[in-house]
Amino acid sequence: MATLRADDPATQSAWDQQSVWSQAAGRAKAAIDRARALSLALGLAAAVLGTAASQTIAQHPALGKALAFGAACATGLVPIVARYAGPGAVRDWTRLRVTSEALKSETHVWLAGVTPYRGPGARLVLQKRLGQLREEAADLLPGTAGIDPVPRRPPAVSDVDTYIDLCLRPQITGYYLPRARAMGRRITLLRRAEAGLGALGVLLGALAGTFEVEQAAAWVAVATTASAAITAHGMAANYSYQQVQFTATAADLEDAVARWYADADRTGPAAEDDFVAHCERVISVLNDTWMAKWTSQ
């Protein structure tokens, strides 16, 4: 029979650890996003300033040189900024996130009181498993330095039903589905930007060809470069992949919950163990495939 563990000091300790690792992962992801956004902005600025410089330097040398200087600086800064979103940074972020999610998973399973957290030695098992997770990510500990856990109480889970209500449903409706929608909005924004720049390039090309406006022809390359840069940014950020994975995970968990309540033979420790293990495996598969996808780039 499941035991009440939300008020256990071991639970609060595990929950606090998960908070620290989650914040560390969030900070790492924010730094990567900033670096990518700044790299994109610098690349676009370099193209715009370079083209503007070529068109103004003959009649306005001082202005043209200033624009050329800005273009050169922007071009030179791109690889410097991009390093902060490089493979090493992405690998560390994904490992921080995976560790955070693993700590959350262990805490949820412990609270639900299912295997391997049945019996009098359950607390020791929890401590060993949490210690193993920290040991596997020991090289990332500097990234958690100086981060205090967010004050919060562990979910009041005492059995499978409360595990569903207080662990699974909040993850589905409060994280996976909102993240899927957010990725969808970003995809739409990027596609609109790509379409707009493509149309601008066509317009400029037509203007240059029909009315022989040489200055317009120079900006066609800028529009094309900007469109390609935005496409590359979207591919690097894996928005489409994330949208699919978040949506699929939410659907899998919802299906598991529906099957649980539809199963008349769901009572008993074995059924509870299998259900919780299946749900946590669904979440784990997301984390594992996510890490493989990001680190393979």
pLDDT for position 66: 97
pLDDT of residue 293: 66
Region 287-296: mean pLDDT is 68
What pLDDT does 290 receive? 66
Mean pLDDT (whole number) for 100-108: 95
Mean pLDDT value across residues 267-282: 94
Q: How far is CA 48 from CA 55, 63, 81, 115, 221, in A?
A: 11, 14, 19, 60, 10
What is the rounded distance in angstroms from the CA atom of residue 75 to the CA atom of residue 138?
37
pLDDT tens, position by position, 141-157: 999 999 999 999 999 99
Q: What is the pLDDT of residue 118?
A: 93
pLDDT at 2 over 50: no
Residue 6 to residue 156: CA distance in whole angstroms: 5
pLDDT(167) > 90 = yes
Q: How many CB atoms lie within 10 A of CB 63?
A: 13
Annotated domain spans of the chain = 7-139, 158-297
Tokens 């022989």 label which residue? 212
What are the DSSP calls for the chain, one per residue?
Answer: -----TT-HHHHHHHHHHHHHHHHHHHHHHHHHHHHHHHHHHHHHHHHHHHHHHHHTTT-HHHHHHHHHHHHHHHHHHHHHHGGGSHHHHHHHHHHHHHHHHHHHHHHHHHHT-TTS-STTHHHHHHHHHHHHHHHTGGGGGGGTTPPPPP-PPP---SHHHHIIIIIHHHIIIIIHHHHHHHHHHHHHHHHHHHHHHHHHHHHHHHHHHH--HHHHHHHHHHHHHHHHHHHHHHHHTHHHHHHHHHHHHHHHHHHHHHHHH-TT--SHHHHHHHHHHHHHHHHHHHHHHHHHHHT-
Query: Of 190, 216, 215, 221, which is closest to residue 203 (Cα–Cα)?
Result: 216
Contact call for residues 279 and 253 (beta carbons, < 8 A) = yes
Segment 24-61, tens digit of pLDDT: 999 999 999 999 999 999 999 999 999 999 999 999 99
How much is the average pLDDT of 87-93? 93
Mean pLDDT is lowest, of 34-38, 108-112, 263-267, for 263-267
Q: Check residue 295 and give its pLDDT.
A: 61
Task: Give the pLDDT mean for 237-266.
Answer: 92
Residues 47, 49, 51, 52: what is their CA dihedral angle, to the nearest 10 degrees? 160
Q: Which amino acid is at 12?
A: Q
Q: Is the pLDDT of residue 1 over 60?
A: no
